[in-house]
Structure 1
Amino acid sequence: MMKLATVADWLGERLPELIAEHRVPGAVIGVYANGELLERAAGVLNTRTGVPVTTDSLFQIGSISKVWTATLALQLVEDGKLDLDRPVRAYLPEFRLTDESAAALITTRQLLCHTAGFEGDRFTDTGRGDDAIARYVELLGETPQLFEPGELFSYNNAGYVVIGRIIEILRGKPYIQCLREHLIQPLELAYTATDAEEAILHRAAVGHFPSGPEDSPQPAGVWALPRSLAPAGSALTMTARDLLTFARGHLCDDGGVLGTETIHAMRTEHMRMSPITAHGDAWALGWEIFHVGEHTIYGHNGDNHYQDGNNRPDSRLRFTVTMLCAPGKPMLVLVDEQELALRAHLRAARPS
């Protein structure tokens, strides 16, 4: 059984050393295991201001937000409002792609698993209003189909925006309001923001980028992606503690916002991955699946304008680790052994 007392002192010493070694401006790490919570912070939120990172600092979580979107979708399944295997058009009759036959077949399950097959790297800014997601989905009519629905895996940000629009339609309210009413408020997340105006009321980090091989990373000129990308990763900013609180709800024994059967269904393997994808070993409903030795780990990485994070619950050992940074490139960590995991995470985060 993992005891946090055995890693607390080590982590407090090594985290500052490792972020300095790998030129990461600032980071916070949180570990939850067997009812205990450990948090450690190091570095600065902004190299221009020198404000230090503390455990109550907020970082953008980027694409980890996709697990939140998947959770909102699975809540609708529990409520009997959403069938993952019905075509998207059962809920969004206006859903269009360049390939009309594919658009008529794609299901929400395929969107959740990144197997819908249409081009997903579309970062169109449709404004800051409550209609941003609806307007984004309207523009997908010009999006090409890359392969038949369900045939292959292709990471799809646009697909998660479509899920966000389904959530809006079935809840009758904007996606951000759904986040607040169905996840943030029930989980009592006091240090979670959904936009820059809210984040600035807290101790918020900025993203950084490498300015040269020997120079210190510099603050990025843009803080976040457009609101239209909220379901895919542009909305949520939070502390490591709040992210761990969300993750604990997916460990089955800590209570949360989904029933136990749904939590297990959300972690069921749907698509086995090729190493060429640079993702996990398999994909479930929102979660990536990693096989590390005898352990199965569910997680998700995220980056948003040079802020990065990842979250890794281990369902068998009942622990979860999250790390949030403001470095220069995306990161990858596997929770296995303490220093190996942390060093790998920071090495991947190092500006190039």
Structure 2
Amino acid sequence: MKKYLTLILLCIITYGCSHEKVAFNGQKDYAQSITEIQSKNIYAETKDFPNNTQLAFAIIKDGITKFYGVKRENDTIFTVDNHDGVFEIGSISKVFTATLLADLVVNNQLDLDENINDYLEWPLKDGVEISFKQLSNHTSGLPRLPTNLLPDSVDLQNPYKDYDENKLKQYLTKELQLNQNPGEKSEYSNLGVGLLGFVLSEIDSTSYENLLQTKICSKYNMGHTTTNRNLIKAQLIKGLDVDGKETPNWDLNVLVGAGGILSSVGDLSRFAEAQFNDSKQELALTRKPTFNFQANKADMGLGWAIIRNQHGTRFMHSGGTGGYRSNIVLDIANKNGVIILSNLSAFHKKNMNIDNLGERLMGTLKKLESIAQQ
């Protein structure tokens, strides 16, 4: 059990160590893309990152997107143009898997409350029944990771690469044990959304990559978004470990729907802008609340976390892999948003600075809006 808990920490979020010096702020010529306060926020949250760390930004104000990028080099934060650079987006992939599900629902190919059991060629252990909605909003009762993903049998630099359909079947038919009954509680599960992506591929008798390209990427002109690294080799930004050294990319194999997509802020901005269009029924469905957290002002949609506070309603998701950390936050009502992709390791002790920066930049958009109304 102790080894298994260690793997969970390694595969989701953990802390590393860095001995980098605090960086000098060398951002120049930023005024056409961002404000001075946004530049200062970026420096404040990135100054402790390792050398060679890159961050790419899409900042959306009133539906208009501006791109910005920085790189830490020789202990200095420089401005760079990397909006077409491709990064692993980690668990932001779950929003895309939810969108694939919503597409099937809108086109009357299945119902959210249908059980996945009828679409599997093998039964779940003990007759467990789980719905499509429960997989997408993390109420399935499934654990974060399957128990047959063991630390002594995986490459910790690429932990999912050998987890194939046979191992998924073995776990679900022989070893499955729920943390709670489906529908009772929302607990984050990579296994659950990975299973969802697998089932959706089975329904359409095709690969997850083909679903992604035909139902999302082609529709929103996302030419740098894929699960196949061979297609974006020239644009790939290399992932870094906690010390700033290049680290292998992750292969999610059968659980690709949980975190296997690569993309750019250029592509993700088009996906974000489409969210502001109410006529996109499948996108609107992913943002509809499906589970309420009674303890706080938050809901789960399909894929999206829905946060309500004094700033209004925001839809967000973060992602992380061994060499990357990402964040997306959208304010649909005001057509504002922030997208951050980075090659900072999710194992780095300051990895949460990416989420903090997303919130800080969103805050600047709200302030700009207030000033404009005065």
The TM tier, using the shorter chain, reads 0.7 to 0.9
- Pair 1:119-2:143 in alignment: yes
Q: Deviations 1:251-277 (Å, cap 9, x if unpaired)?
A: 225x6xx42xx443322222223779x
- Pair 1:227-2:253 in alignment: yes
Q: Deviations 1:139-159 (Å, cap 9, x if unpaired)?
A: 332231111111111111111
Q: TM-score, normalised by structure 1?
A: 0.78
Q: How much has 1:8 moved relative to structure 2?
A: 1.9
Q: What's the secondary structure of 2:327's corresponding residue? A: strand
Counterpart of 1:27? 55
Q: Deviations 1:93-138 (Å, cap 9, x if unpaired)?
A: 41424xx13x2x211111111011022323847768xxx7643531
Cα gap change, 1:5 to 1:67, in 2 (>3 Å): same
Counterpart of 1:109? 133
Unaligned 5+ segments in structure 1 are 210-216, 343-352
Q: TM-score, normalised by structure 2?
A: 0.74
Q: How much has 1:10 moved relative to structure 2?
A: 2.1
- Pair 1:321-2:344 in alignment: no
Counterpart of 1:72? 100
Map of 1:39-54 to 2, 5 A cutoff? 39-43=67-71, 54=82
| Contact residue 56 and residue 342 of structure 2 kept, 8 A | yes
Counterpart of 1:140? 171
| Contact residue 89 and residue 95 of structure 1 kept, 8 A | yes
Question: Among the aligned pairs, what percent are the same residue?
Answer: 20
Unaligned 5+ segments in structure 2 are 1-29, 150-158, 366-374
Q: How much has 1:20 moved relative to structure 2?
A: 4.7
2:48 is matched by which residue type in structure 1? H
Map of 1:193-212 to 2, 5 A cutoff? 193-209=226-242
Cα gap change, 1:172 to 1:185, in 2 (>3 Å): same
Map of 1:282-301 to 2, 5 A cutoff? 282-301=299-318
Q: What's the secondary structure of 2:333's corresponding residue? A: coil
2:73, 2:215 → 1: CA distance? 30
Q: Deviations 1:72-100 (Å, cap 9, x if unpaired)?
A: 01101112111111111121241424xx1
Map of 1:80-99 to 2, 5 A cutoff? 80-97=108-125
Q: What's the secondary structure of 1:115's corresponding residue? A: coil
Q: Deviations 1:178-209 (Å, cap 9, x if unpaired)?
A: 11111112211122232332332214231331
- Pair 1:238-2:258 in alignment: no
2:32, 2:218 → 1: CA distance? 33
1:335, 1:127 → 2: CA distance? 30
1:138, 1:52 → 2: CA distance? 45
Counterpart of 1:36? 64
Q: How many residues align?
A: 314
Which of 200, 205, 209 is residue 172 of structure 1 equivalent to? 205
Cα gap change, 1:145 to 1:44, in 2 (>3 Å): same
2:63, 2:237 → 1: CA distance? 27
Q: What's the secondary structure of 1:118's corresponding residue? A: coil
Range with bigger deviation, 60-69 or 6-15:
6-15
